Amino acid sequence: MGTTKSEKFSKSQNEISAIAKAIGHPARVAIIEYLMKVDACICGDIVDELPLAQATVSQHLKELKNAGIIKGNIEGNAICYCLDEKAIGKLNSFFQKITLKLDKRSGSCC
């Protein structure tokens, strides 16, 4: 027990939930918003932006990278992180599908 029964769900369901899970932490939302703000995927000052220790930030970055939400280029000494459209696009289309459904809902209930 205690383990998520991923194998009982479809690949697509696991994929979507994995991306959503990665966004499911305020620090990681903050990282995403910062990367949006600076646009030009500036490097290492992400650590200074967040109220967390360097090791913790590094871990969060790793999870975002695993989920395909950001990607990082080694740039000499520092590393240059930026948003990766791959995962973002997947979740975006998931939400658009829901929103579409909601818009033209028969409104019969609830």
Partner DNA sequence: CATCTTTATCGTAATATTGCAATATACCGA
Partner DNA sequence: TCGGTATATTGCAATATTACGATAAAGATG
Residues forming the site for a copy of itself (CB under 8 A) = 4-6, 8-10, 13-14, 16-18, 20-30, 32-33, 36, 39-41, 51-52, 71, 73, 80, 82-83, 85, 88-89, 91-92, 95-99, 101-102, 105-106, 108-110
CB 59 within 8 A of CB 53: no
How far, in Å, CA of 18 to CA of 31, rounded?
Answer: 17
Scanning 7-103, the segments in alpha helix (DSSP H) are 11-23, 26-38, 46-49, 54-66, 85-103
Site string for DNA, 73-92 (x = CB under 7 A): -x-xxxx-------------
Binding part of the chain for DNA, among 29-37, 52-60, 87-95, 99-107 by CB under 7 A, reads: 52-60
Q: How far is the CB of 31 from a copy of itself (least distance, A)?
A: 10
Of the candidates 77, 93, 107, 110, which has an alpha carbon nearest to the alpha carbon of residue 16?
93
How far, in Å, CA of 59 to CA of 10, rounded?
Answer: 27
Q: Which of 12, 13, 54, 96 touches DNA by CB under 7 A?
A: 54
